[in-house]
Amino acid sequence: MKIEGDSLAADVRNALRGVCMGCADVVPGVSGGTVALILGIYERLVTAISHVDRVAFEHVRRHEWSKLVKHLDLRFLATLGAGLISGVIAMTLIVGLLLNNATTRALTFALFFGAIFASAILVARLIQTATGMQSIRCVSLGLIGAVFAYWVSTLQNSTASPPPSHAYIFFSGCIAICAMILPGISGAMILLVLGVYEHLTDIPRDFLHGNNISEGLLTIAVFGGGCSISLVLFSKLLRWLLSHHHATTMSLLCGFMFGALRKLWPFQKDTAPDIEKFKEKTFEVFLPQQFDGQVFAVCAAALIAAGVVFAVDYWIKRVRA
């Protein structure tokens, strides 16, 4: 795992990566963990988060701030986190515009579908096995991951009675953050299933209009608390798995990426046309019966996104060679 040095250029790159992750986390069906894996920072991110431990608290107790910053990879986390928050806010404000319209929804899903499909192929090519038995385990876990992610993508949205309690918000944060850090499992989709997605994504709009400021801040704090506690604990498990069972763990994560593609299938029939908000709609995937202009545009968008991913991967390999 190559770690970039502390420089302004590295900070800008990490902030932009965070923006990409934040934008992805808001879109139901897309995982910020997938983007982190695509961008090559997944293992570094998991390691940094998992370092919130006894050693970190010992550095705090002794006022060893420079050692704390190095132990937590804090500069990386800070720049990535700043970008992630910016991406979440920006995408929260425009996601409704992109996904409520049938044409832009199909094109948006096509772009994500193509990019993630290509990325899953690249991740699969990175998995190396030493024995035939290990190869069998990797393939088996990949299939299990794909089936599980596919099943999750079929779950229907829940409309929890408004507003959900703070205890339920805290619980939702604990569950969703685990999904957000896993490639292929969408945290936004889990929040939809739990029935709190709309409540949370309405908060930035309320802030813009000066409504429910104190309640919104309290809700964010409660949700953030659930996310933080669960993230630290779950990242330790992921770090151990990546350290001791790298090939099989990556196979499972790769399976998640492939299985979750169902949620991003561009051709989806709106089964609730009377409902205006995308977050409350339900969809049914289908295969187009004829190749018209819209189908061509959707396929072109998916192929362009996949091509960009392959081109970037090729360019990065050439630069590192």
pLDDT score at 33? 79
Q: Which residue has the higher pLDDT, 281 or 132?
A: 132
Q: What is the spatial distance between Cα 90 and Cα 30, in angstroms, rounded to a whole number?
A: 16
pLDDT (tens digit per residue) in 71-97: 999 999 999 999 998 988 888 777 767
Q: In DSSP terms, which residues pair with 283 in a beta bridge?
A: 270
Give me the residue label for tokens 């190396």: 128
Task: Say what percent of the chain tops pLDDT 90.
Answer: 18
Is residue 37 within 8 Å of 123, Cβ to Cβ? yes
Helix (H, G, I), strand (E, B) or coil at 270: strand
Structure tokens at 124: 């699969």
pLDDT (tens digit per residue) in 238-274: 888 888 888 998 898 888 888 878 878 888 888 877 7
Helix (H, G, I), strand (E, B) or coil at 165: coil
Q: What is the dihedral of CA 219, 154, 268, 112, to 10 degrees?
A: 60
pLDDT (tens digit per residue) in 174-219: 888 887 777 656 677 677 667 777 778 778 777 878 888 888 899 9
Structure tokens at 79: 């720049």
Distances in Å between the alpha carbon of 239 and those of 48, 77, 164, 316? 9, 16, 33, 25
pLDDT score at 136? 92
Amino acid type, 238: L
Structure tokens at 244: 């001791």
Is residue 142 within 8 Å of 251, Cβ to Cβ? yes
Helix (H, G, I), strand (E, B) or coil at 185: coil
* Number of residues that this document lists for the chain: 321
pLDDT score at 160? 46
**DSSP 8-state class, residue 73:** T
> What value does the mean pLDDT of the chain take?
82
The closest alpha carbon to 149, from 183, 193, 105, belongs to 183
Local confidence band at 222 (pLDDT 50, 70, 90 cut-offs): very high
Report CA 160 to chain centroid distance, whole Å. Answer: 23
